[in-house]
Amino acid sequence: MRAQEDLPSWTALDSPITDSYDDVFYVSKNKLFYALCNNGAVESWDLTNPSSPKRSLVISAELPRYPPKMDNHHWCVRRDSYARTCLAESSGELLMVKRYESNARDPDMDGKTVAFDVYKRDFVENKWVYVQSLGDRVLFMGQNHSVSLSAHDFPGLRENSIYFTAQSIENSYASHDFGVFNLEDDSIHHSDLKDIQPSPIWVVPDL
């Protein structure tokens, strides 16, 4: 029989600035967990010593409500949508991605993804900086994990784009939400998959 102290256990991690998180992900490069607080701040957690977790406030500045220099059409699309935020990593940069979901009453669009905005963390200025282009990078965004790849390494992918999958539990019309969003021209293409109901997750191979 194993001793009680050898059994795995859970350790509660308390934050003084939030009572909930919108997203958490692990960066193997620096072996830190990053947690997105519901007020826009980001914390890092060092759990290399589970008995003595270390928390740091990475950035406290909130996101701008809308990106700069946006025309009236794209501004209205975002204004009339519901925004969700999540964290991602690309080429060593810490990103925050805002996904906009339509509030339209059209059954074909209600709850569908209509746009994305991407920001990167500026440690020096302690703020989020709007990203106009991902270059040759491609983001895969879901409700479980984010993945960044190079379109040069995978020629079938569209560079400077976000491949997304999502599901709305509030609205059955949004059960199938797959598509590609291009940052260059703010265009979006939705898949016409209608006969399956997969979970909105990406399966990540061992790259």
pLDDT tens track for 66-111: 787 778 888 888 888 888 888 888 888 889 899 998 876 555 566 7
| DSSP string across the chain | ---GGGS--------SS-S-EEEEEEETTTTEEEEEETTS-EEEEE-SSTTS-EEEEEE-PPPPSS-SS--HHHHHHHHTEEEEEEEEEETTEEEEEEEEEE----TTTTT-EEEEEEEEEETTTTEEEE-S--TTEEEEE-SS-EEEEETTTSTTSPTTEEEEEE--SS-GGGS-EEEEEETTTTEEEE----S----S--PPP--
Q: Model pTM?
A: 0.80
Q: What's the rounded mean pLDDT across residues 174-181?
A: 76
> What local confidence, expressed as pLDDT, does residue 39 receive?
75
Could you read off the pLDDT of 126-142 as tens digits, one per residue?
Answer: 788 899 899 999 999 88
d(CA 158, CA 61): 32
> What local confidence, expressed as pLDDT, does residue 158 receive?
92
d(CA 90, CA 81): 26
Could you read off the pLDDT of 9-29 as tens digits, one per residue?
Answer: 777 777 777 778 888 888 777
> Starting from the edge strand earliest in sequence, which strands make up the sheet with 187-190, in order?
146-150, 137-141, 161-166, 177-182, 187-190
Give the domain ranges of the chain.
Answer: 15-59, 76-190
> What local confidence, expressed as pLDDT, does residue 172 receive?
46
